[in-house]
Structure formats: C-alpha cells, structure tokens
Amino acid sequence: MTKRNRTAGNQYERDIVKELKELGYTKAVTSRNESRTADANKIDIVGLDGHFAPQCKNLSKSVNYHKLMKEINTDMPKVIFHKRTEKSTGGKFMTKGEYVILEKDFFYKLLETYK
C-alpha cells in the first residue's frame, strides 16, 4: 500500500467518525487510536455502543464485499463504508460516490425501526 493510499484511507476513517459524531455517536473514534484488538479484527471505528462494526474503504476499484464481510471478526452487525474515487486527468483523485454495504438481516432490522 502506498503512503498516499494509506493517508487517504485514514482520512476517510476520520471523516466517517466526524459524521457519526454529528449523528449522536459522540464516543466514536478510529480503532487505530483506541483498540488494537478491534483494528486487528478489521473494525475501523469503535465507541458505537455495539450497534455495528464498520470497515471503511477509500478505493478507486471495486470492493470484494463478500470477502471483506468474512474478514470482519465480530458478532456485531457488519457495515462497510465505501468511498469510490477515480483519478482525474490532472492526477487528483475525485470522489465518484459513497456507499454503505450492510448484511441483509441488519438492513431488515433497520427497516423495522422505521415502521
């Protein structure tokens, strides 16, 4: 992994932490700073009261969601945040879309809360 890719990935984790804090998850922090165990289990953000276990990806290619879901080692609902980027003609990476991938059972539980 190049330094640019690592830096972009770490920044995306911090961006998601900031957004989660704005949504009320005030204890959210990156696992790199807080929990070696969570980081080793492929959980990028902790302090979410056990509601879900996020993995953040900032990539210019597709994510193998199935493989990544299997790598996240937890009983909590698994969530993948994916920021898709493309390199512009000027060499700068531009965001082309952001997505959240959930396991179907967890998605249905979320739907139940909106009834």
- Note the pLDDT of residue 2: 73
Q: Residue 31 in contact with residue 74, Cβ under 8 Å?
A: no
Sheet holding 53-59, edge to edge: 53-59, 78-87, 93-102
For the whole model, what pTM was predicted? 0.90
Helix and strand numbers, DSSP H then E, in the chain: 5, 5
CB < 8 Å & 24+ apart, contacts of 34-42: 41/72, 41/73, 41/74, 42/68, 42/71, 42/72, 42/73
Per-residue pLDDT of the chain (115 residues; tens, 9 = 90+): 577 778 888 999 999 999 999 999 999 999 988 888 999 999 999 999 999 999 999 998 889 999 999 999 999 999 999 999 988 888 788 899 999 999 999 999 999 998 8
Q: Residue 63 in contact with residue 80, Cβ under 8 Å?
A: yes
- Note the pLDDT of residue 71: 95
Give the residue extent of every domain in the chain.
3-113
* Residue 68, token pair as written in the block: 């990544």
